[in-house]
A and B are shown apart, each in its own frame.
Chain A
Amino acid sequence: MNSKNKKIVLHQMWTTKSMVLMIFMLFLSAGMFAQGKKQVSGTVYDNTGNVLPGASIIEVGTKNGTTTDFDGKFTLEVAVGGSIEVSFIGSTNQKVQITASTQPNLEIRLQNDGYLLSEVQVVAVGYGTQKKSDLTGAISTVGADDLVKGTISSTEQVLQGKVAGLNVIRPSGDPSAGSSLRLRGGTSLTASNSPLIVVDGIAGVDINVVQPSDIKSVDVLKDASATAIYGSRGANGVIIITTKSGTKGVSIVYNGMSSIGYVSNHLDLLSANQWRAHIRETGNMDAVDYGANTDWQKELEQTAISQSHTLSINSGKADSGFRTSISYLDNQGVIKTTGLERLSANVNAYQYLGDNKDVKFDTGLFANIDKWHPLDYRIFERSYNLNPTIPVYDANGEFTSVGGTIYENPVEILTNRKVDNQRHRLLGYFKTEVKFLNDFQAVANISLEHNAMKGSTYKPSYAVMEGRTEDGYAQKTYAEYTNAQGELYVNYSKVFDKHSISALAGYSYLENIYQGFGAQRSGFVTDEFSYNNLGAGYNYRLGDVYSYKGKSNLVSFYARANYNYDGKYLLTGTVRRDGSSRFGENNKWGVFPSASAAWRISNEEFMSSAKDWLGNLKLRVGYGVTGNQDGIGEYKSLSILGVGNDSYYDPATGTWSLAYSPKQNPNPDLKWESTEQLNVGVDFSLFDRVTGSFEWYSKTTKDLLYTYEVPQPPYLVGNMLANVGEMSNKGVELTLNADIIKGDKFTWDANVTLGHNVQKIEKLSNTTYETDVIYSGSLHGLAGMSGQYSQIIAEGYPVGTFWGFQNAGLDADGKMLYVNAAGEKVLGDALVDADKKDLGNIQPDLTLGIGMNFTYGNFDLGISGYGMFGQKALNATNMMLNDPNRLPAYNVPDDFLNSGITSAPKYSDYWIEDASFFRLQTLSIGYTLPLKYKGSKLRLYLMGENLAVFTSYKGVDPEIGLNAQDGSDQSGLAAPGIDKYNNYPRPTTVSVGLNFTLNN
């Protein structure tokens, strides 16, 4: 026996028995095939050119085989005229004929098989993972390669358009603005509606603690059967982020990018010359021409120059792994002074112990620091108001100041205030996994999240606030939040014949503490100190210092059981019992169950004839109950005395003291909102090229939390947080992935996500609380609209329903006409409340995400975009600007001069527009230089972001944040879809970058 033969069996368990068998077999085969043998060697690569360790090579028709080593290399003695088959999980098998002329050094490149890859993909399901093929719930997975790339300052953005039914809403182009996530329409009127974020098993953390480059995959748990394991926090879906950890080998990766961004869309307002021409035409004697030509919008802008660098080091052995990364992002905003600077780092290490990897220790640490200058959003309104003939600076070089508050110089506001914010995020965990009694595994996980925010503000004595100075004003604030968790769970899994069973039971304890303090003073003799010496301010008031602290606990018990028969019939059941300190005395504990089943039809005998074109067909059904406890702040169920701005005068001493007063109507019945959801899904794979999922869901949220109007008397205050209403969301989702062309040189793949959701408020009253309608969508802050609302929340309508008068165009005098309840055309004065009607709503009929990737040789091209269709938006900016009272003092849009409008703005559907849009989000072209050294490579690319928006919306941007940016509306779903000077423009960005991977 020569040494070559020996090598074949080295990868098997080396026992005397098998050696004897081996020798016997070799003799046997040698006898049967009296042909010549040939020694074949080679290297196996994946489709991206990386070497593949662990691929198997089998001589076809024999048991002769081997696997590739660490460098993807193999050697095998094969009969001449035979063939070898190379296989690797997730790749299409490849056969190579071995002839006498076959070169000894084969290079074999395996192609990915999209379907196979997805079926063996491991999906995080909460407290463990499952193979995708075994899933029974609705879960979408996005791998690192498919995440949105570009200048990303909020981690949510990586999911934009990538998951059917998940909307990522960025309120503006401000790099320091976060994004909001909405899955399947949201379930709450007051709570955040944001899905629960789980990072490496730690639930309820800030998604931005993780940087996009550290993400390995994202799993989005959508239906209740999947999320019920997270109980009272699962109603809005769960996003599980798995980060990269040390993999086999050593590699160093650097990503660098730099970009320029500019504002691509402005409001068309009168230029100074247009304004002068108009004044000449109308002969307005009172008009004041200040002599300058100022484009106030452009005065606020800059070309944004941004850069980002990420360096990661990876090292892995058979029983341990280590990965660390550091990244720096400097993302400038297109409005002067704005931007976000972030430094972040991540370390992960794991170590197995024991012969059979019985014990695993796993630690991770994420940290980042953000710095930015928050923007005073009032500058946008001011920039539209100011007469274009006013110069930015007066003759003395000082900021020009004319007129009233809404007429303040926005450049002055932008320049003269110094606001520095800093945020720290930290997440660390230590996880221990122990295998015992063969089939059991216990996991203990301790984690701490600590986020802190520091704010520093200084308004120097020369800064003008609301037209006046404060002799210097300084403020410092500090707020911190900790989220400490301990988790312990036990897994059991067993396979008997065709039955496989797994089960999980666990306990978790969570403690959130928030606390902070702040101080402010005004009246500084010198501006030298900035915000660094508050004690120097001579003017102070009672409320100038404050501090606060609060705490909440969540205690949970949970269990899950899976049953799988022959990979065909799959059952899952989960239950979680959550107890929260936030809940009222009478409802401390809640139980959240779910059940789901799946049938892999394609694995049935009777489907075998369809195997050629139908790789997979799976039907899933799931039902569950989940909760949302976000809407309940701490202590809402208690009767509490607090000290607020309730000071009183004590005539005995002539001084002021602080009063203690009851703060709220206590509600001992307060509890989570509960959402029942039924989901039916189909997973399929066709012609080995197309994979996809279709989902239908129906969910009903009960015990909707809202601050309801309560009768006063007897209640202390006129409103109270209570569980009353009911809301439904029904919809369908489609996800498609296609490998359209899978050539050697040319590949083309595409993915599409589609979502459709219909929302309805079912009920707003119960036996205790009666409400006909809740007015929302406040127009407060707009001239003449104090206390006015544009939307209603009412039974039978979705959230964000515009409710108001229907316009009937202008009359001969340019006065706006409206249609009253009797169908007559009347002027605004003649309208009564009964004339108001449904004017459409902000809910999109369809959300769409599209991505496509092409490769040709070493070139790659990627394109992605997203859109929302059928939603309405109130263009309140336009409503206020098209006011005949504005000229000549305030600027107006170009269109106004031709509109003929002579009546003052009044809220009606005249100002409600279709805000459908499709945004071409990214387009990138790259070229990869394969380097000779161990699969190391260098990729250079050029990328454009926000290159085009297809829309008929007349405002600056049809994509409108959920809440007013001026902070006047903070509630979850209460006032979306209103463009109220909502105009931090989204930049168009062009970047160049390089990725360098060094393997060793």
Chain B
Amino acid sequence: MKIKITAAILMSMLFTISCTDLDEELYDRVEDGNFGTTPKEIDALVGGAYSSLRGFADGISNNYPTCEYVFFLNEVVSDEATIPTRGTNWYDGGQYQDAQKHTWKSDNRMILSAWRYNYTGIAKINSIIYQIDKSSLSAEAKAPIYAELKALRAYYYYQLLDMFGNVPIVTDFEDTGLPSNSTRKQVYDFVEKELKDALPYLSSNVVYSKLTKNVAYSLLARLYLNSEVFIGTERWQDCLDMCQQISGYALTPDYFANFATENQKSGEIIFAIPYDSKAGTVGNYMSSMSCHYLHRFTLSATGDYPWSANGMCAQPGVYSAFSDTDKRKKAMVAGDQINLATGSVIIMDNGEPLTYTEEVTSLADAKENEGVRIGKYEMKAGESWERDHDFVLIRYAEILMMQAECYVRLGSPDLAKPFVQQVTERAGEELPAVIDLDYINQELLKEFAFEGRRRTDNIRFGTFFEPWWEKGATEKYRGIFPIPSTVLTTNKNLKQNPGYPEN
């Protein structure tokens, strides 16, 4: 009997240690309601809004951060870059070929990736605003935080306005109802209002990589510069007014200082996405997406440079558009590639020399060495996938060129001269006698080649719709991208952009 009692005690011990508590205990993360009360926590939240500018690895971009895909898309559909299929490589379902030929469909994965990049940034800011709402900070303390977040959100909406036009406007994190389209005009008005409302609270200082007054003015200037494209109303003077509000910047004497490893020191950059290898940020490795697999031996005798993918290159005609005296021509890598170990031209696996040519046989079947490569950002031995150079979004040269363009468009090309002159002088080029729109267009190509903004210029100048290399005439509706097919499937409240098939 004693035994039974002992056993019974043992068993009842089991019951006492047990329970039916099913709440999840968190150890290495926090539930959203429990964060955002101290200034340090607020900083860490707001910081997240900036970090999403780099994009994120999603299933589409295959572990590349999506901001690269936004860049890919805008570059490939413009007149400055292309991603030809090389043998088997870079076919990938024809998505790059379709983009080059302006025959993209709504299931093009670059388009979905761009959509997700922007809406992820927006949703993240909405969620941060929701956290701040719940925080115990005073209304005065919250106001500048809201302003910074909403202005940054307006940057994403500006991108959507530019790329997709009629997109849904979502500002409330808690509202999970399926939104419907806003018109392009509504999105335009929203971006304008959000930026203007934020202005009084934004910092007037020159603060690198933060959304300051200067950045907001630059975005408004961009908005007004493209106003005719966006809503059919010219606002050149408004653009000029915004540009004139911007202060504290000057062109760097060396053009490439803006693209150097330590480019955060440049006094020209108004807004950038910071990268730092020690901080583990992956991205802004366009040269690695562009150069040949063996290019690393041109940088290091031991090949101490990351793998390159042999993808994007300049469209034929771009390299020769630069005069040889133009310092900016070095943004491209052309000709024989010398192996630092041997001192002779690199021999590719197929036995041929690695010589980048301007000509590309065809979009569908380019040779490994064809196409001039993109080398705008500094490349140096010992770099890792995590680069240190920051991705430039807005620099002062753009403010100068916007003013020049507006004066030309307003019929005062002489007033444009001092602005353009600063830019060409640095490049080592002469100003022509007459500054006209064609000249401005060419100068924009040379100054901002491979900075991800050429598509917008092409559309504003109308060249987007004319034939170019491996592309026929483009129908007007392709001035904006279609809403991605999977977005339409999952949200029946959304309508496809005009001109594109419903699905």
A787–B24 touching, CB < 8 Å: no
A697 and B335 CA atoms in complex are apart in Å by: 68
Q: Does A369 have its Cβ within 8 Å of any Cβ on chain B?
A: no
Measured between C-beta atoms, what is the minimum distance from B180 to chain A in Å? 11
Chain B residues positioned under 8 Å from A515 (CB to CB)? 27
Which of the candidate stretches A411-419, A541-549, A726-734, A810-818 sits at the interface with the other chain? Answer: A541-549
**Inside 8 A of B489's CB, which chain A residues have their CB?**
709, 770-772
Assess the A714–B178 pair: CB atoms within 8 A.
Answer: yes
User: Known: A468-B302, A648-B48, A656-B276. Is A663-B210 also a contact (CB below 8 A)?
Assistant: no
Q: CB-nearest residue of chain B relative to A406?
A: B293
Residue B227 CB within 8 A of the other chain: no
Cβ of A240 to closest chain B Cβ, rounded Å = 22
Q: Is A478 an interface residue when CB atoms closer than 8 A count as contact?
A: no
Query: Residue-by-residue, is A350-394 near B (CB-CB < 8 Å gives 1, otherwise 0)?
Result: 000110001100000000000000000000000000000000000
Q: When A579-B22, A709-B489 are in contact, do A288 and B32 touch as well, CB less than 8 Å? A: no
Q: In the assembly, what is the distance between CA of A829 and CA of B363, in Å?
A: 12
> Quick check: is B438 within 8 A (CB to CB) of the other chain?
no
Contact mask for chain B residues 3-25; partner A; CB cutoff 8 A; 1 contact, 0 none: 11001101100110111111111
Beta-carbon contact of A488 and B15 below 8 Å: yes
Q: Contact: A488 with B123, CB < 8 Å?
A: no
Say if the beta carbon of B307 comes within 8 Å of chain A.
Answer: yes
A536-555: which residues lie under 8 A (CB-CB) from chain B?
A: 540-543, 547-553, 555
Q: Pick out which of these stretches binds chain B: A48-56, A201-209, A525-533, A634-642.
A: A634-642
Question: Residue B351 contacts which of A442, A712, A713, A889 (CB distance < 8 angstroms)?
Answer: A889
Whether B349 contacts A404 by the Cβ 8 Å rule is yes
Contacting A641 at CB < 8 Å: which of B3, B35, B58?
B35
Q: Is A914 an interface residue (CB 8 A)?
A: no
Is the CB–CB distance between B32 and A639 below 8 Å? Answer: yes
User: Do B35 and A660 touch (CB < 8 A)?
Assistant: yes
Q: Which single member of B21, B32, B41, B303 contacts A662 (CB below 8 Å)? A: B32
Interface centre among A432, A487, A883 (most CB of B within 10 A): A432
| A881 CB → nearest B CB, Å | 11
Q: Say yes or no for A565: interface residue by CB 8 A criterion.
A: no
Residues of A412-444 contacting chain B, CB below 8 A? 432, 434, 436, 442, 444
Nearest CB in chain A: distance from B191 CB, A: 16
Q: Which of A542, A548, A643, A649 contacts B209 (CB 8 A)?
A: A649
Q: Which residues of B contact A829 (CB under 8 A)?
A: 364
Given A404-B307, A659-B51, A709-B486, A717:B28 Cβ within 8 A: no
Q: Is the CB of B44 within 8 A of A785?
A: no
Smallest Cβ-Cβ distance to B107: which chain A residue? A833
In chain B between 436 and 472, which residues have their CB closer than 8 angstroms to a CB of chain A? none
Number of interface residues of B (CB under 8 A): 102
CA–CA, A910 and B50, complex, Å: 48
**A659 lies within 8 A of B3 (CB):** no
Contact indicator A555/B88 (Cβ below 8 Å): no
Residues A353 and B3 in contact in the complex (CB < 8 Å), given A446-B14, A541-B279, A638-B24: yes
CB distance from A650 to the nearest CB of B (A): 7
- If A404-B294, A634-B24, A715-B176 touch, does A541 touch B277 (CB 8 Å cutoff)? yes
CB distance from A791 to the nearest CB of B (A): 15
CB of A784 within 8 Å of the partner chain: yes
Say if the beta carbon of B201 comes within 8 Å of chain A.
no
B28 close to A547 (CB less than 8 A): yes
CA distance A287 to B352 in the complex (A): 9
Q: Bound complex: CA of A889 vs CA of B352, how far in Å? A: 10
Distance in angstroms between the alpha carbons of A635 and B175 in the assembled complex: 22
A405 CB within 8 Å of chain B: yes
Interface contact B90-A784, CB-CB below 8 Å: yes
Asked if A645 is at the interface (CB within 8 A of a chain B CB), the reply is: yes
A701-720 residues with Cβ-Cβ distance < 8 A to B are 709-719
A555 x B20 contact (CB < 8 A)? yes
Establish whether residues B32 and A640, one from each chain, have CB atoms under 8 Å apart when the complex forms.
yes
* B4 and A509 contact, CB distance less than 8 A: no
With CB as the reference atom, state the residue of chain B lying closest to A466.
Answer: B307
Max count, chain A CB within 10 A of own CB: residue among B24, B208, B306, B489 = B24
CB contacts under 8 Å to A, within B168-210, are 168, 170, 175-179, 207-210
Measured between alpha carbons, how far is A541 from B279 in the docked complex, in Å?
6
A784 touches B178 (CB 8 A): no
Q: B22 contacts A581, CB within 8 Å?
A: yes
A713-B22 in contact (CB<8A):
no
Q: Which of B26, B281, B293, B302 contacts A403 (CB 8 A)?
A: B293
Is A917 close to B, CB under 8 A? no
Point out the residue from A287, A650, A713, A717 that lies within 8 Å of B168, measured CB to CB: A713
**B466-480 Cβ-contact flags toward A at 8 Å (1 or 0):** 000000000000000
**CB pair B490 A770 closer than 8 Å:** yes
Contact, CB under 8 Å: A660 / B62: no
| Among candidates B45, B123, B294, B352, residue contacting A713 with C-beta atoms closer than 8 Å | B123
Structural contact, A648 and B120, CB atoms closer than 8 A: no
Q: Which residues from chain A contact B373 at a C-beta distance below 8 Å?
A: none
Give the residues in chain B near A634, CB-CB below 8 Å: 24
Q: Mark B361-392, 1 if CB is under 8 A from A, else 0.
A: 00010000000000000000000101000000
Expressed in whole angstroms, the minimum distance between the Cβ of B168 and any Cβ of chain A is 6
Bound CA–CA A469/B95 (angstroms):
34
CA distance A772 to B45 in the complex (A): 37
Q: Is the CB of A711 within 8 A of B279?
A: no
Question: Given the complex, which residues of B lie within 8 Å of A905, measured CB to CB?
Answer: 88
A658 interface residue (CB < 8 Å to B): yes
A397: Cβ under 8 A from any B Cβ: no
> Are B209 and A651 within 8 A (Cβ)?
yes
- A434 touches which one: B8, B177, B209, B276 (CB < 8 A)? B8
Residues B48 and A646 in contact, CB atoms below 8 Å apart: yes
Asked whether B259 is an interface residue with its Cβ less than 8 Å from the other chain, the reply is no
Residue of A404, A407, A446, A488 ringed by the most chain B CB atoms within 10 A: A404
Given A288-B347, A404-B307, A543-B280, the answer on whether A434 and B7 have CB atoms closer than 8 Å is yes
Mark out the residues of chain A between 871 and 928 whose CB falls within 8 Å of any chain B CB in the assembled complex: 880, 883, 885, 888-890, 904-905
Asked if A714 and B364 make an inter-chain contact with CB atoms under 8 angstroms apart, the answer reads no
Contact with A along B104-136 (1 / 0, CB 8 A): 000101000001100110111001000000000
Given contacts A468-B304, A540-B278, contact A712 B20 (CB under 8 A): no
Contact with B along A72-95 (1 / 0, CB 8 A): 000000000000000000000000
Q: Is A482 an interface residue (CB 8 A)?
A: no
A507 close to B18 (CB less than 8 A): yes
Query: What residue in chain A is nearest B297 (Cβ atoms)?
Result: A467
Contact A486 B14 (CB under 8 A): yes
Identity of the chain B residue whose Cβ is nearest the Cβ of A649 in the assembled complex? B274
The answer to whether B306 touches A468, judged by C-beta atoms less than 8 angstroms apart, is yes
CB 8 Å contact bits of A275-290 with B (1 = contact, 0 = none): 0000000001111100
Kindly identify which residue among B43, B47, B349 contacts A407, using a CB–CB cutoff of 8 Å: B349
Instruction: Name the residue on A nearest B210 (C-beta).
Output: A651
- Interface membership of A657, Cβ < 8 A: yes
Contact with A along B333-352 (1 / 0, CB 8 A): 00000000000000111111
Which residue of B18, B281, B494 is within 8 Å of A509 (Cβ)?
A: B18
**A648 near B51: Cβ-Cβ < 8 Å:** yes
Known: A358-B3, A661-B124, A663-B29. 7 other contacts (CB 8 A): A403-B294, A432-B7, A444-B14, A645-B281, A649-B208, A651-B208, A771-B489
Which 7 A-B pairs give the minimum distances between C-beta atoms? Answer: A286-B351, A404-B293, A648-B47, A711-B491, A659-B48, A889-B349, A885-B87
A positions within 8 Å CB-CB of B: 284-288, 353-354, 358-359, 402-405, 407, 432, 434, 436, 442, 444, 446, 464, 466-470, 486-488, 507, 509, 515, 540-543, 547-553, 555, 579-583, 588, 634-635, 637-643, 645-652, 656-663, 709-719, 769-772, 780, 783-788, 829, 833, 880, 883, 885, 888-890, 904-905
Subset of 24 A-B contacts with CB under 8 Å: A354-B4, A359-B4, A403-B293, A403-B348, A434-B7, A468-B302, A469-B302, A486-B18, A488-B14, A540-B278, A541-B277, A555-B22, A640-B32, A645-B282, A646-B48, A649-B208, A651-B208, A659-B47, A660-B44, A661-B48, A712-B119, A788-B93, A833-B107, A904-B91
